[in-house]
Each structure stands twice: as structure tokens, then as C-alpha cells.
Amino acid sequence: MKAAIVGATGIVGQQFIVALHKHPWFEISALVASERSAGKRYADAIRSESTGALGWYCDEEMPDEVGGMKVTSSSSIRPSNYDVIFTGVEADVAKVLEPKYAEKTAVVSTASAFRYEEDVPVLVPGVNNAHVRLLEVQRKKRGWKGFITPIPNCTATGLAITLKPIYDRFGINFVIMTSMQAVSGAGRNPGVLSLDVIDNVIPYIPREEEKVQRETRKILGKLSGSSVEPADFNVSSTCTRVNVKDGHTESATVSTKKSCDVEDVKMAMKKWSGEISKLGLLSAPKEMIVLHDDPMRPQPRLDRNLYDGMATSVGRLRRDDAVPNGIKYVLVSHNTKMGAAKGAVLVAELLKKEGYL
């Protein structure tokens, strides 16, 4: 299948390149960026004119064949030439571009622009596959041949995954979560300055908490007719930034509806965790949740790369006696793998399996 990457010179775009390179189902057929980059070889487009330094920000090396591809401008591509368009641009740009593309073909997006629209699912494969049917509603309602399917905010992703088996089995009254987020989540423009975060914690990330609170409920909600009924519990989040490169750490307290002990929750997580493997999605982790007994885990540097950054690590699972039926734990989720481009590729794989691509 032919894939285009929009925003290909940016940090998320580069992660798309890594996630799609040598992918057996998708072929990178177009690298799309702004007018300034259009017409250049990709390697030249990301090279600094003044210093000659390469603006390549993934830990993996840039594939040589990608470096030699020509960059196309976002206005000049023909969406119908591609089976799927992956977009890694800011919300305001996405707002304009994605509907144009979706008229003709499938769009899988990391942007927040359309997440809160009624006919738009926020998919996490393995968690809410059924929401995919909302795409039919979307197509019909908007008269599009394609559709827009955004992935969630990277902080909501790990939280929703860990809540899923708890919610299904025990119900949830409320969730209190404090995150310690990695700097890569802010990207490069402007990103987080070393100046600001060195020897420091930044207690606020603009617009992040609202996203986490709202998207978690939508992800875990129930498809009902032509929209998703949000899950019936409140989420409270405090999102902070710490001096970590990759991997969001979250400390969560969950008050469940049914009483349950720690072992029940572990069992529920383990049981649910492996089901993802039955779907046959290439980018999926072997287990959605990796449980740690060592109290010093999970740690972002040690655990973010489990199953190539696609697993969510959970540790310190224990009672929380301060609230009714309280359970608490710490999770680590890779914000630029499962939480961004590679998570979007996983969604595309689900779409293909479900016949939407």
C-alpha cells in the first residue's frame, strides 16, 4: 500500500519514516513538507545550510534510500494517489490539511485537531477496536471517500491502556494521575529548553491535562449509534515535565466500583495483555502491559523501549487505602513510539485488518 508522510521533515515525520521503513504492508511513496523544503532531496531538506549538520532526530539512523527521495509540498500532492496519508503536523495545520486529504483517502493523524468531533474515533488497537466503525458514520456524514482517524495524546495512551482491564473487570469510580513527562513530547519547535528543565521540574504543560482527561474517557467509552459515549468516571490529571528524554512516567490512583485486591488486578492485566497478539498487527507489542514485581521499576530509561517502545510498563501495583476500593501503580509509556508515529502505524495496521484500508 502506498503511504505518504505529511510533515516529513519534523520530528514526528521522521519517526514515521523509521516506523514505516521496510514495513511489509506500507511503502513510503511521498515525503510531504512545506514549500521551503519542496523539490529538495530529503537529506538536503533537513540539513542545516550554515553548519552542514543533519537535522535528523531519531535514535535510528536515517535510511539512505529515504535521504535520496524528493520532498513534495503539502499543496501539490494528490491524495488519491495514496492508500493512506500519515500526518505529523501541528493542530492548526492539521485542521486545514486533513479534511482535504480525507475527501479522497484515509488519514491517520497524530494531531489533536479532530479528536473531539463526534464522528471521529480515537483508536488504540486492542483497547477500542469497535470504535473503528465510527469511520463509516464519518464518511457518510461528511461525504468523504476517506476519513480522519487520530491517535490519542501520548499521555492518555498509557493511562487508557492500563485502565482498560481494570475498567472492564471491576468498573471505575475515579482516577487521579500525576505524570512526569519526557521533553521529547514537546518536540523541537519550540520544545523544552535545557535552560528551563535542568535541575528542575516544570509543573504545567499547557492544554495537556484537558486532553488526557477527555481522551481517556472517550477511548474507554462505548460506541453507541453514531458517537462514543464517554466512560462513566472522571479523570483528574496533573501533568509535569521532568528532565527525561523519552518515556512518560505516570503515577495513578484508581478507585474501582467492585472491590478487588492487588492480585485480581494483576491477573486482569495479564489476561488482557496478550490478546493483542491475536490481531496479527505487525507493530503491536507481544504484551500490551508488562508487569514488574521489582519495586524499582518501571523506570523510563530502562523500560521505555520494551517491545520496541510499544508496551506499557506497570509496576508498584498496590492498595491505595486513602480511597474506597483504591489501587495505585506507576506506568511508563514511550511517548514517541506507542504515543506517536509508531502508534499511528499500529492504527493503520488495524484499519487494514478491519478492511478500512
Stretch of 27-35, 158-166, 248-256, 337-345 contacting its own copies, by CB under 8 A? 248-256
Q: Is 154 a catalytic residue?
A: yes
Question: Facing residues of 136 across strands?
Answer: none
- Given 131, 248, 292, 334, the catalytic residue: 248
Q: Is 21 a catalytic residue?
A: no
Taking CB under 8 A as the rule, does residue 262 contact its own copies?
no
Taking CB under 8 A as the rule, does residue 257 contact its own copies?
no
| Closest CB to its own copies among residues 34, 299 | 299
| Closest CB to its own copies among residues 217, 352 | 217
Which of residues 24, 49, 52, 64 is near its own copies by CB under 8 A?
52
Q: How far is the CB of 220 from its own copies (least distance, A)?
A: 14
Q: How far is the CB of 339 from its own copies (least distance, A)?
A: 15
Taking CB under 8 A as the rule, does residue 238 contact its own copies?
yes
Q: How far apart are CA 251 and CA 176, in angstroms?
A: 8
Question: Facing residues of 253 across strands?
Answer: 176, 328
Q: How far is the CB of 340 from its own copies (least distance, A)?
A: 14
Which of residues 59, 65, 229, 261 is near its own copies by CB under 8 A?
59
DSSP category for residue 152: P
Stretch of 93-101, 102-110, 321-329, 342-350 contacting its own copies, by CB under 8 A? 321-329
C-alpha cell at 7: 510533515
Q: How far is the CB of 282 from its own copies (least distance, A)?
A: 23
356, 355, 332, 349: which is closest to 25 by C-alpha?
A: 349
Q: How far apart are CA 26 and CA 45, in angstroms?
A: 23
Which of residues 24, 143, 206, 225 is near its own copies by CB under 8 A?
206
DSSP 83-135: SEEEE---HHHHHHHHHHHHTTSEEEE--STTTTSTT-----TTT-GGGGGHH
- Given 131, 154, 239, 292, the catalytic residue: 154
C-alpha cell at 240: 509535569
Taking CB under 8 A as the rule, does residue 225 contact its own copies?
no
Contact 33, 8 (CB under 8 A): yes
The CA-atom distances, in angstroms, between 318 and each of 148, 156, 170, 261 are 39, 21, 16, 8
Q: How far apart are CA 354 and CA 132, in angstroms?
A: 8
| Closest CB to its own copies among residues 105, 184 | 184
The CA-atom distances, in angstroms, between 84 and each of 26, 27, 80, 81, 151 are 9, 10, 9, 9, 15
Total of chain residues touching its own copies, rule CB under 8 A: 63
Residues 106-165 that bind its own copies (CB under 8 A): none
163, 130, 179: which is closest to 232 by C-alpha?
A: 163
Taking CB under 8 A as the rule, does residue 316 contact its own copies?
yes
167, 260, 175: which is closest to 220 by C-alpha?
A: 167
Taking CB under 8 A as the rule, does residue 183 contact its own copies?
yes
Taking CB under 8 A as the rule, does residue 43 contact its own copies?
no
Which of residues 67, 88, 285, 300 is near its own copies by CB under 8 A?
300
Write out the catalytic residue numbers.
Answer: 154, 248
Residues at the contact surface with its own copies, assessed by CB under 8 A: 50-54, 57, 59, 174-176, 178, 180, 183-184, 188, 190-204, 206, 233-236, 238, 240, 242-245, 249, 251, 253, 293-302, 315-316, 320-323, 326, 328, 330
